[in-house]
Amino acid sequence: MKNFRSLLSLSALLFCVKFQAQVNDSIMEKVREEYSYERLFKENLNANPANKLGARKYNITTFRLLTENTDTPNEIQQKGKGKNLWGAEAHSLQNLDSKTMVWGSASYTKGKTKQMVWNENADYDLIYPYVAADSVGGDMKFENYSFSGGYSKAINSYTIGITGSYRANLSYRNIDPRPKNTSANFSLALGANKLIFEKFKVGAYVEGEKYTQKHYLSFVSNQGFPMIYNMNGLGNYNELLSGKLRQAYYEGWSYGGGLQIFEASNRNWYLNLGFKKINMEKFLTEYTDLNASKIDEQRLNVSIGKFFNTGKIVWGISADASSTERKGTENLFLNENSRNYIRIGTVERYNHKINNVILKGLLQIENTNVKSSLVPFFGWVQEKEKYSNPLSVVELNRMIYGANYQWLKTFSRDLALSVSLGVSVTDVYKKSGLFNNSGKPSINQMLQKNYAFQSSDFWQAKVDVNFHFTLPVVKNAFAGGKVIYSHFQNGSNSYFAATIGTIF
């Protein structure tokens, strides 16, 4: 890990030094583009790496140090009660010429997830519901590393692009129960687009991803240890494979792609379609790589937007919709002895569907030194999680609405202030929960607490402030802070982040 950290620091340093001499654009022009809500609206087109070319006008390189502290008593048990972390990030995007762009990033974060129970694995959102779990849990320490890069090139009326990324994670606990999880994720995407009639572009891309996680659980105490459950979803677990389970291996592949069509010069209108398929298997390595379960998930998404530019005023509207369905399949076994399991069948029992639609508006007014942006939004989410035998169901319908506002003031060529405010309301207008209460009392308690959070209405307010300045020693520096407060009926969640860095 120390060698990996040194490699990250060296890569970030070389990355910044390499491009620093190429940058001649005004820092304030870069800052305005970086914070632009209009740019963020159109960001989903960049799932196709060919579309990166032309997405930004200015070269930009940033390096930042950051710290985050979250307190989330209102959360599902498997994700803990908050996080403390610190880290470093370096990002760069460079137009080498009018037809070539390169980009890349590197990051390192370290911290801990507080009071995480009923989950001894990493990357819960990727591998759920098939996690190793117990009622004791505790704080989980972690380290994350990530690297990414890409290249886009215009050739006549065509543009081609490629991008790849690598992420590694280590999570562990130093007191019983003592999990050690190492995971890795590698992804690659290839894309192209073509200019049609000099007015619009049509693009397509394909992507693939490989994921692995090694899980090992140990105990030092000789006084015994809690029951380790092989969870299957909504509190149900495989009784035959639970008990002394210590090791597991997750292996997954995903593939997908998408199509886009958009206005060529300023992307003032666009249509984006995407698809992704995920397969994830869980193997119990203590039992000769016994295949215990499998996840099949598919995601569909569509986004459309239209924008109008009248000089100093930009306004527009966008709609984003997605549908995700995750299916869980369990293998059934007959054990002839404690180490020999024979598969006798396969059954699909778990299903989780999420459909959502969100509408956003944009009003952006820009003068010589001030830019103001208002983004009202309204969304709808329908979610149904089901385990078929024994029957357990959670069904939730939510409405989400609110607005974000940003004020960006440029005082001079090297002094600027950005203030972003936001408020949103989540209204759960339909909810129902049916659980199998024949299991362990501690599991039933976990289910009830999770349901109370998931079915709760709440409102959220946030403030994000960033100040750009120049010092005698550090040129083009910035410092910022972000606070998010979420109010529930029975309590509140809070988030605080602070960052310092440089941009050039």
For every residue of 73-132, which 3-state class applies, written as one string? Answer: CCCCHHHCCCEEEEEEEEEEEEEEECCEEEEEEEEEEEEEEEEECCCCCCCHHHHCCCCE
Let me know the angle formed at the C-alpha of 424 by 421 and 428, rounded to the nearest 5 degrees: 170
Residues counted in the chain: 504
Question: Residue 51, Cβ neighbours under 10 Å: how many?
Answer: 27
Pairing of strands 290-309, 229-233: unpaired
Query: What pLDDT, on a 0 to 100 scale, did the predictor assign at position 7?
Result: 41
Chain segment 156-199, per-residue pLDDT in tens: 999 999 999 999 999 999 999 999 999 999 999 999 999 999 99
Q: How far is CA 127 from CA 328, 392, 482, in A?
A: 10, 20, 30
Amino acid in position 392: S
Rounded Cα gap, residues 401 and 378, in angstroms: 4
Evaluate whether 280 touches 294 at the Cβ level (below 8 Å).
yes
Q: Cβ contacts of residue 445 below 8 Å, gap of 6+?
A: none
Asked if residue 332 lies in contact with residue 321, where contact means CB atoms within 8 angstroms, the answer is no
Rounded Cα distance between 491 and 255, Å, is 40
Q: Among candidates 281, 260, 263, 280, which has minimal Cα distance to 271?
A: 260
Residues of the chain with pLDDT under 50: 1-24
d(CA 375, CA 406): 9
- Cα–Cα distances (Å) from 480 to 370, 387, 432, in that order, read 19, 45, 41
Contact by Cβ (8 Å): 241, 292: yes
**CA 322 – CA 149 distance, rounded (Å):** 27
Cis preceding-peptide flag for 226 (omega within 30 of 0): no
Q: Can you tell me the distance from the alpha carbon of 480 to that of 196, in angstroms, rounded to the nearest whole number?
A: 43
| Closest CA relative to residue 19, chosen from 114, 85, 96 | 96
Q: Which residue has the tokens 């693009």?
A: 203
Asked if 120 and 179 count as a contact pair (C-beta separation under 8 A), the reply is yes
What does the pLDDT look like over 17-29, one tens digit per residue? 444 434 445 888 8
Task: Please enumerate in sequence order all residues whose Cβ is within 8 A of that of 399, keeping only pairs 6 or more positions apart, or say none.
Answer: 378, 379, 380, 381, 426, 427, 429
Q: How far apart are CA 196 and CA 267, in angstroms?
A: 14
| pLDDT recorded at residue 403 | 98
Cis geometry, peptide bond prior to residue 179 (ω within 30 degrees of 0): no
Q: Assign 18 to helix, strand or coil.
A: helix
Residue 25's pLDDT is 59
Q: How far apart are CA 321 and CA 303, in angstroms?
A: 6
The burial class, CB within 10 Å (0-12 / 13-18 / 19+), for 430 is exposed
CA atoms within 13 A on the CB side of 253: 2
The answer to whether 187 touches 164, Cβ cutoff 8 Å, is yes
With 0-12 / 13-18 / 19 or more C-beta atoms within 10 angstroms meaning exposed / middle / buried, residue 389 is exposed
The DSSP code for 228 is: B
| pLDDT score recorded for residue 337 | 64
Confirm if 136 and 177 have CB atoms less than 8 A apart: yes
Kindly report the CA angle at 89 between 83 and 90, in degrees rounded to 5?
Answer: 170
Instruction: Tell how far CA 222 is from the center of its chain.
Output: 40
- Round to whole Å and give the CA distance between 163 and 48: 9
Q: Which residues of 149-165 are buried (b: 16+ CB within 10 A; e: fewer)?
A: bbbbbbeeeebbbbbbb
Give dist(CA 136, CA 226) in Å, integer: 7
The helix (run of H) or strand (run of E) holding residue 355 is: strand 340-366
CB 171 within 8 A of CB 190: no
In 3D space, the residue among 274, 212, 194 whose CA is nearest the CA of residue 248 turns out to be 212
Non-local (6+) Cβ contacts of 292 within 8 A are: 130, 230, 238, 241, 248, 282, 283, 284, 330, 331
